[in-house]
Structures are given as C-alpha cells and as structure tokens.
Structure 1
Amino acid sequence: MKNHIIRDICFCWFALFATPVFSQSDSLKKNSDDIGSLKINFDPSGQKYMQIGIWNQTWLRYIDNNPGTLVNGEPERGTYDAGIRRMRISTLAQLSPKFLMFYQIGFNNQTFISGGGSGTGAQGNGKKATVFFHDAYGEYTLIPELDTETKKKNNFSLYLGAGLHSWNGVSRLTNASSSKMLTADLPVYNFPTIEISDQMSRQFGVFVHGSYKKFTYRMNVNKPFATNNEPKIGNTAVDNNKGDVSFAGYYSYQFFETESQKTPFLAGTYLGSKKILNIGAGFYSTKNGTKTQPSEGVYENHDIRVLGIDIFSELPLTDDTYLSIYSVYYNYQFGPNYLRTTALLNPGTADPAYTGQTALEGAGNGRVLLGTGSIWHTQFAYMLPRFSKSVQIQPYVTYARKSMEALNETGNYYDFGTNFYFVGHNAKVSLQYSSRPLYDTETKTVFKHAGEVLIAMQFFL
C-alpha cells in the first residue's frame, strides 16, 4: 500500500510541475508568428526546466555539375537531387539557477547517393546516416545575468562550462544558429576548422561567456581534433597538428536591444521582433596546426590564426517590415598556399575518362571554401509588407569576395533568395539561386561560373 501511495504522489507532482508549454522568447513581439519551443517546467517558478528542440531541413536542388562529373557512374552535366541537410534534437536542462546541461544529436548531409552509412550494394551509399552528438556540455553560473534574489539585472555576468561545445570565437556567424538562419544555409567558411580539427564546428574544451552592460564576450581553450595529413614536396600547407591547444574569443557591443546568451547560437534574423545594432570582433589560434615540406625530407610547422570583424543590424521600419544587414571580414592564416574546397551533399564523383578542362574544386558541386587569405561576406534582406495572414515574404541577397593566396584570381560568389515564413522559423521555405566561380586546375584562374537552384524546407519545434 505504501508503495502505491508514493507512486501516486510522484505522479501528481509530475503532472503539476512538469507541464509541457510552448515557450516563446520574451523578445518576440506580436508581429512574429514564431511559436517558440517545447518547455517542461519542473517547479512552479519555472527556474528548473527542460527545453526541447526538434528540427529538420530538407533540400531539393538542381545543380550545374562541375566538368567531368559522374553521378551513380553516369556522366551528368546537371543533376536533380533531394536530401536532408540537417536533422537535430536538442535538450537544454536548467537543473537549478546554478547548473545547466545542453545536449544535441542529429545527422547531416544525407542524399539519395551519399552521406549514409558504410554499407554498399542493396543497402546503398545514401542510406542509414550516422547519428552523433553535436553538443554535450555542462555549465555553471558564477555570476548570473539576473540576480536570483532581487530579480534585477547585474551589470556583469559570468558562466563557466566544459565539454563538446560550440561557444566559438571569430565572428557572429561562427556562432550562428542553424535553425534561425536568414539565408537558406550558412556559408560554411564561417567555421574555419569545420570537420578538420573540429567535429561539425565543435571542439572539446573549457569556455566562459557573459556580459558587462552592453558588452558581451565568449572565450574558450580547446583541444583540437588530431590531423595527420602529410604534405607533398613544395610550398603548400596541409592540416597536421602537433597536439597544441587552441584559443578563441568573440566580443561584441550591443547598441540597442540585447540578445540572449542562454545557448551559444545567435539568430540570423529575429523577424523584426528586435531592434539590433551590434559590432563584434574575434579570433581563433593554435600553434603548429599545419605542415609543409619545402624540400624532400625537410618539414616546417605553421601556426593557424583566424581573425574576424563584423557588424549586424536588424531595424524594424513598420509593424511588419524591417531591414536585416550583416557584414563580416575574415583573415585566415593557415600556412603557405593552404586551400580547402567543399561540396555540400555532393552527388558527383570524378569521371576518369573525361579529357576536357577540369576544375580544381573537383566533381559535382565542389567549390573553393577557404584558405590562407581573406573573405568578405555580406548579406542583406528586407521583409515585405504583410499582405496575408498565412505567409510573410523576405527577399535577400548575399555576396562573398574570396582572395586566396593559392589562387591567381579573386572569386566572387552570389546568392539570391526569398524566404517564405508560414509560422516564423517553425515552418518556412527558402528558394535560392547560387552562382560559384570554377578555377582551372593548371592556371588557378576562373574559367566559368556554375549555378545551383535550392528549395530548402524547415520544420522546427
């Protein structure tokens, strides 16, 4: 009998205090349709809770393939494809006013032909994508942003955490939210060590973050993932680190409204619900991160240093229109002639029988990502006046200018798109056209441009 009573008391307690509610950020105003995320309170005050986020981003594309591309063994100049760019499940647990836990799992970049498990044949290269932890860290409150007794905001706040985390340095975009993006996708070069010495932009380490009045800061000391590429003879650096730790930081001043620092992720747009003007600067550095072989048997190590400076502004014009502007300048130092290419959800492989002009970016939708040199990235958007209760429309444009030491010509990259918000960020569709230059393998100059049409659909709770 006693066990039944204890069971019933526990059930009633959970029913009373662990009631799921849809929580919306205090910053969201009536002109935003965003319904927020699922929040489960564990006490009447709401100081102990768990917040759950679930989202999926599906891509439909037409790709102008780079010259000499095979898709499933057949030459193709252009490819239609479908895939999942991201799938995530995140949990943030506030155990007490002093302790917080954050975990995020999911998978990335699965298409009809790539991004799946290791099986082949009947299983298929595109099937059964690997799910893994993106974030896994705990955080301790040293000085809270809001005093727990007086409920007044402190001038200074300080939080300390450790684990697999993404409290990154360099720029706002290096700390970007992937569920509240302005554009159909992030440009990827905002993550300078992506999938090389980090795991999906995360590293293991210790971090601090907080604010002093309008000034915010985040800093970390991390252990980069090991790299061991061996350089060829010549003056081209490759990733080969020597076990040194990395240091990173990002600092910003917020002139108007302030942004939440509950998680490391910063929104690409608040859908006009905030008046924002922020300037920021940051860095990432690690010793002996790359390696060259200037002559046979002679090796040199090189430090990695990345600097960023940016500005972000979101200015409401009327109740339902606003401007969003972001611009960032990156300076990358990875060692002599370091160059990296990427190909998101790439459907193609190189055709060994192809004899025409080839691109150094490789097959499929490969492009130059980053390298020793600089990138200037700018994006601009305008929310159109609302003419319907069911949808908001937001055209945008982005431009990136890449000047890489290993190339003999500056590259110009463009995206033209439109967002259709049906339920804020919770249900939206983005239509985007992108243009990328292709570099000749021998001359390292641009010989043509290739395009890509993308429909990105996001559902987020």
Structure 2
Amino acid sequence: MAYSQDTIKPKTPEIAAKKNPLDIGELKINLNPKGDKWLKFSVSSQIWLRNIENNPGTAVNSIPQQETYDAGMRRMRLTIQSQITPFYTVFIQVGANNQNFISGGGSGTGTNGAGKKAAFFFHDAYNELAIVPRNNFQTGQLNKNNIYMGVGLHSWNGVSRMTNGSTTKMLAGDLPIFNFPTIEIADQFSRQFGVFVHGEFNRLNYRFSVNKPFATNIKPSIGGGAVDNNQNGKLSFAGYTYYQFFNKEITATSFLAGNNLAVKKILNVGAGFYTNKNATLTQPKENVFESHNASIFGTDIYSEIPVGNQKKEMGLTLYSVFYHYNYGPNYLRTSGIMNPGTADPDFTGQKALEGAGNNRFLMGTGNIFFTQAGFVLPKFSKILKVQPFFSYALKDLKALHEKGSYYDVGANFFLYGQNAKIVAQYSSRPIYDAVSKIIFDRKGEFLLGLYIVL
C-alpha cells in the first residue's frame, strides 16, 4: 500500500513482503540511478461529519443550542521525506487541523471569520543521521542493533505507544488526545524542538529525547489548581521503549500504528516517561507562588493476532495503557475537538464544569486507564473490509470528586486497504456539576469520518 507519514518504507530486504493486491505504490522520485537518493511524498485527508449533544449552557454562534450538526477538516497533511545520502535524511510534515464552520480559523467575523482560513503550519521538521543503519548500506544485510540521531521539531515522544501514535492507522475514529501529555500547551501539536535518538537493540525498540518546551505563562488563581507556567525555561526529557515478542515493526518514522488489520502476529510490551522541571505554577496565597514539576509515566501492551483460516483475513487488535500524570496540585485540562460552542450568558440551569459545546475533561494530575479492541470480520468482498471496534477510558483525576468513564463504539469500513476508509462511531462522555464536581449527566457525539492517505 502507499506510504504515509507513519509508513514511509526504506528500500531494504528487512521489509520485503508479499505484494498486496491493493498496493498503489509509493509517491517517490529517485534522484540517482542507484536509488539511494530520493524524495518521497504523502498526502492524507480526514473529513468529519458530526452530530453533537452539547453540554448544558451552550450557545453556538450566540444562539442557545442543545444539539449541533457540523462538518469539518480534522486533519489535512503533506509529508516530504528526502534521503540525501544513505546516512542522512530530512523529514518534513505540514498541514492544517480542526477547521469547521466556526472554529479553527481566524478571529472575528467576515472575510477572515472564526472558521475560515485555518493555519497551515509545520508539524515536523527535522534532520536525521544514521549512526548504525538498519541494514548495511554495502551488503544490504540486516543489523540487529541500530541507532539513529536527529535534531529539529519532532515527534519522537516518550510515555507510550499512543503518544507516538499514527493518525493514519488508528483503530478508532481518533486518538483519545490525553495520550499527548502536553498537547498544544508546551508543544506544537505534540511536537517539541530538541535532540532525539532512536533505534533497536535486537528486539528492544527505543526512543529518547531532550527538548526545549514551548513557553507557557498562565497566571494561577489564589488557592486554585496548578496551571501551565514554565517561565524559567527548563528542558524536558522523554523516552519510550518496547519489547517485540513476535514480528518486528519498522520505525522509519516516529509514528507507531494502532491498527494493522492484524495481518501479522504482534505482541509488544512498553513503558515510557516525560519529565519537565518547574512546568506548572500555583498561588497558594496572594503573591506567593510555587513551581511544580511535570512527570508522566506510562506502561502499555499492544497485540495483533490473526484468527482462523488465513484466507478469511480475520484478526484481533488489542491495546491497553495506564498513565500516571503529575502536573502539580489539582491540575486539570478540558478539551473539545473542533468545539462549536461557547458559554450561554443567559443560561440558568445546572452548569457543566467542563464548559460549553463538546468539552470534556481531557487529563490532569491523577491516573487514566485506556483500552481498545477491534476485530476484522471474515472476508466477504474483494473491496470492502469491516472492523468493529470499542474503546474505553477510566479517568481518576484529583481535582474531581468522581471517576469518569468515557467510551467509543463503532466500525471501520476499509474500501482500499488503509488507503481509504469510512469510520462510523458513537462516543459518550460524562458531564460534571460545576459546584459539586460529580457526574450529573452524559452526552454523546456521532461521527462519520472519511479518511484518505496516498
């Protein structure tokens, strides 16, 4: 199949495989006859159609609204990878995200309104050097141990597999987002500037980085929870390793698949971390400030198991992860993807602590357990393949007085392998009372997603 930002494939015997009848080839330009200098391209698009049950007290375009229909661009990406020499590569990814009729664009109204002209920016931009390559450049023989080093704006992240998750090989309609511990706060769409190293020691795959987090300077309220404020500018440290018991995965880019349709037997067990000294700030008394370290740890397991008759192409995909987050006392974050809502100033009913629209509590100081599973149904068509899935998150956050359960249920309809699919999904989230901080309601969201990658 065609590569994407997470499936760019080096030309080596290590990944030689039986030709997929749906393979549409690579978007690749060789720069010399030998083929060891090249440019590769990838284009991906994710369009969402949704029906959202809004949180209590929501206004959309200044009109009170309990339910909202919308269409939007979740992700649109262009990826370029260049191998200048067999030892040196450049990786660039640009794109736009989260644009719908009212969010993700410019400010104000009129020509450059709130939903118009979404920002198109660099997601990744780094250079990488092969210290010990995966394959010997002269003989083509596999090196069991390899190591690569790079520098730039990158997503060779720590903590978990899903913190390094591919957005073109997801099991559900989207990643849960709390897998990115500093998303759009101390990072740029889960990327930071820094130096990274990655590679393999036989079956142990590893990645580590030292980065300079993006600056934050939110001012804490007196007696309130910790907020993002890293004004003294300390470095962050991150790492993730996983052991591969069966088939090995190729990590030519940082992105790890969450769904390979269980075509090969995989069992990986991993663990990782992210730390940043003095990342947050509290104000326990007026004009008395205390800094707090951010420390996030995760451990996970990922498995893909082909099932039954090989000709039926059935398979089970499983993933589970446990996160422990410590951002300081009562740190709490909310998020609503492409949120169409704002607070209704005239609302007098029971208010949601999360705020308006489809906001939910994303993460905070505390623990989160997440698990998901999908099963590829027996083959019944040369074109269509169906994979029902389910995911569940249990969030135990210190700033709240009750644990919250979040779930998604749906199915993937693959029309051309993973190059083209449609996702149908229903998601349910709890709603917390603004005063008692306990759950008083639940709201849902229907998603129909159209995904293309070339």
Partner of 2:3: none
Q: Is contact 2:395–2:403 with CA below 8 Å preserved after alignment? A: yes
Q: Is contact 2:364–2:398 with CA below 8 Å preserved after alignment? A: yes
Distance 1:51 1:97 in 2: 14
1:400 aligns to 2:400 (yes or no): no
Deviation of the 1:272 alpha carbon: 2.5
SS at match of 1:190: coil
Deviation of the 1:260 alpha carbon: 1.1
**1:233-270, Cα deviation, whole Å (9 max, x unpaired):** 11410000120000000001001111111100011111
Partner of 2:324: 331
Deviation of the 1:73 alpha carbon: 1.4
SS at match of 1:174: helix
Distance 2:389 2:8 in 1: 29
Q: Is contact 1:23–1:39 with CA below 8 Å preserved after alignment? A: no
SS at match of 2:35: coil
1:70 aligns to 2:63 (yes or no): no
Partner of 2:176: 187
Partner of 2:4: none
Partner of 2:249: 259
SS at match of 1:423: coil
The structure 1 residue matched to 2:260, chosen from 264, 270, 273, is 270
Unaligned runs of 5+ in 1: 1-21
Deviation of the 1:24 alpha carbon: 7.2
Unaligned runs of 5+ in 2: 1-6
Does 119-128 or 376-385 show the bigger shift? 119-128
Q: For the aligned residues, what is the CA RMSD?
A: 1.5
Q: Is contact 1:48–1:94 with CA below 8 Å preserved after alignment? A: yes
Summarize the Cα distance change of 1:230–1:27 in structure 2 as closer, same or farther, 3 Å threshold: farther
Distance 2:19 2:86 in 1: 29
Deviation of the 1:145 alpha carbon: 1.2
Question: TM-score of the superposition, structure 2-length normalised?
Answer: 0.94
1:40 aligns to 2:33 (yes or no): no
Partner of 1:283: 273
Asked which structure has the greater CA Rg, the reply is: 1
**1:245-302, Cα deviation, whole Å (9 max, x unpaired):** 0000000100111111110001111123322100000000010000001111111100
| One-letter amino acid of the counterpart of residue 112, structure 1 | F
Percent of matched pairs sharing the same residue:
56
SS at match of 1:274: coil
Q: Is contact 2:99–2:105 with CA below 8 Å preserved after alignment? A: yes
The structure 1 residue matched to 2:39, chosen from 44, 50, 54, is 50
Partner of 1:8: none
| One-letter amino acid of the counterpart of residue 88, structure 2 | F
Partner of 1:140: 129
Deviation of the 1:50 alpha carbon: 1.3
1:121 aligns to 2:113 (yes or no): no
Summarize the Cα distance change of 1:262–1:68 in structure 2 as closer, same or farther, 3 Å threshold: same
Partner of 1:15: none
Partner of 1:434: 427
Q: Is contact 1:182–1:268 with CA below 8 Å preserved after alignment? A: yes
Partner of 2:374: 381
The structure 1 residue matched to 2:216, chosen from 223, 227, 237, is 227
Residue-pair matches, total: 440
Q: Is contact 1:31–1:273 with CA below 8 Å preserved after alignment? A: no
Deviation of the 1:149 alpha carbon: 2.1
Deviation of the 1:27 alpha carbon: 6.5
Name segments (4+ residues, structure 1) moved above 4 Å: 22-25, 27-32
SS at match of 2:415: strand
Q: Is contact 2:41–2:78 with CA below 8 Å preserved after alignment? A: yes
The structure 2 residue matched to 1:316, chosen from 306, 312, 329, is 306
Q: Is contact 2:104–2:115 with CA below 8 Å preserved after alignment? A: yes
Summarize the Cα distance change of 1:443–1:62 in structure 2 as closer, same or farther, 3 Å threshold: same
Distance 2:85 2:70 in 1: 46
Q: Is contact 2:394–2:405 with CA below 8 Å preserved after alignment? A: yes
